[in-house]
Structure 1
Amino acid sequence: MKISRPLRALVVVDGSDVHHDLLGASSALRDIVLEAGVVAEPALGLDRFVDAAPPTSEADVFVLYRSSVAFDPAQQQALADRVAAGAGLVLLHASNLFGYGPHGMAGDAVAHELFGSTYVSHGSNGSEGTYTVEVVGEHPVTAHLGDFVLEDEYYVISTRDDVTVIAERSDPDGGTQPVAYVRDHGAGRVCYIALGHDMRAWGSPYFRQLVRQAVLWTGGVEAEDIQSWSTRFPLGNGRFIGPGAAEDPS
């Protein structure tokens, strides 16, 4: 894929900061996206998808950090239409809070289909702790990353059948829980990452690389080009922190 101009990403936060530091997330995520060589701008609120001014209409990728149980159907449909037309969508952490409004899951049906999952609970681990994120299979979003340890909130999510899980964690009952997955929506690509409650995650080089590669993949960057784009920061010079790092001659 020839990039005729830099990719443009809009980092959108929405909701209340009672449980999630939306301002901190906006700043941290913008820096992470910039590290990938992608033009990134912060934005607040979901009405922008309904009345799309140039910063929204010209964006190639939307990075959404949502902390709200309210999601107007018109906003849902407008965002779904943008992704179906080819925009990329990276969803983080609590963005999939669905079914809490007066109309239950029916009121969030469009977004639920677009996002591919819904938050269920923190599970029996408690709300947070340290755990291992295990890469599943091979995918451009997790390429150049091995399994890694992170301190973050535990999320239990319910996924739709059309998602492809690319990272997971073990739960105390002997099963696994999805941590990241991808899906297609029309001409667009969607990636959900359950991680990212606060700076413990945002400051992790593994989390940062995972998000960078999610932005690049959803933005249409070819798989063979993702390494040089996504690993230039914080390690630089095309080095990476996953499998193969030990062979780095520098």
Structure 2
Amino acid sequence: MKIGVICDDYWHPGKLVTEGLELLSEQGYTFHYIQHASEWSREWMNEHDAVVLAKSNQVSAVDETPWLTPDIQQQFQSYVEEGKGLLVLHAGAVGYRAEPLFYELVGGVFEHHPEACPVTISSLNEELGIAIAQGTYTIHDEHYFMEVIDERIQVFMQSESVHGTQPAGWVREQGKGRVCVLTPGHFLHVLQHTDYQATIKNAINWVSAARS
């Protein structure tokens, strides 16, 4: 399965994402990475079964200029509607509140986070087969607080810390395609956590199984 990965910004180095997904490369997934927004094109997206967005709205780690133009938002929307998959992973939800097409496509965006702390991840919906069945585990991570469009999303995983409870994983479908959002993953040990690795793998499989 060919998966395109868009990553790298000031707070989330591309190396973190590539190392976090490396273990999945041993399970039949081929990842193609771009770390500078200038490398993005719709043609590049079309070459892949799904795209993982793990980049905030910055051109690169050294250029904080927003990269998600209205035209690129429309391209993401049509990519999904035509039957492809989009997985928004951690940083991929950051900095997009003012981008209406993207916000509506993914169903929610990052709002804020307290300092990193123990965060407990729990599965809420086993029928989707994405989060680990009856799985609950605690990780040290940034606890993302999200602004979501409740009527547009189906939450299957939640995160809880001393600061409160938040949706940590949700899905939605648009047109012939599928979107999944996973909020954990600021640190490498989180991305490489056995249960979260399984969730990422299941999410990739779910968004890639779009309707023809």
Q: Same fold (TM over 0.5)?
A: yes
Q: Which residue of 2 aligns with 1:190?
A: 179
Distance 1:32 1:162 in 2: 32
Which of 146, 159, 165 matches 2:155? 165
How far is 1:33 from its partner?
Answer: 3.6
Which of 22, 29, 32 matches 1:41? 32
Aligned with 1:68: secondary structure?
A: coil
Aligned with 2:198: secondary structure?
A: helix
How far is 1:37 from its partner?
Answer: 1.9
Write the letter of the residue equivalent to 2:12.
H
Contact preservation (8 Å) 2:56, 2:95: no
Change (3 A) 1:60 1:157: same
Contact preservation (8 Å) 2:119, 2:161: no
Contact preservation (8 Å) 1:9, 1:38: yes
2:82 aligned with 1:85, yes or no? yes
Which of 10, 14, 20 matches 2:12? 20
Aligned with 1:52: secondary structure?
A: helix
Distance 2:82 2:39 in 1: 16
Q: Which residue of 2 aligns with 1:73?
A: 70
Report 1:131-170 matches (<5 A).
131-138=119-126, 139-144=128-133, 146-160=135-149, 161-170=151-160
Structure 2: stretches of 5+ with no match in the other structure: 59-65
1:99-147 superposed Cα distances (whole Å, 9 cap, x missing partner): 57xxxx2xx001101111011111xxx3211121011022221254611
Superposed CA RMSD in Å reads: 2.1
Q: How many pairs align?
A: 200
Contact preservation (8 Å) 1:33, 1:40: no
2:53 aligned with 1:64, yes or no? yes
User: So what's the TM-score if we normalise by structure 2?
Assistant: 0.85
1:179-203 superposed Cα distances (whole Å, 9 cap, x missing partner): 1111112111111000110212122
How far is 1:80 from its partner?
Answer: 1.2
Aligned with 1:168: secondary structure?
A: strand
Aligned with 1:59: secondary structure?
A: coil
Aligned with 2:11: secondary structure?
A: coil
Distance 1:111 1:198 in 2: 25
Contact preservation (8 Å) 1:49, 1:78: no
Change (3 A) 1:68 1:143: same
How far is 1:169 from its partner?
Answer: 2.1
2:1 aligned with 1:10, yes or no? no
Contact preservation (8 Å) 1:181, 1:192: yes
Provide the identity percentage. Answer: 23
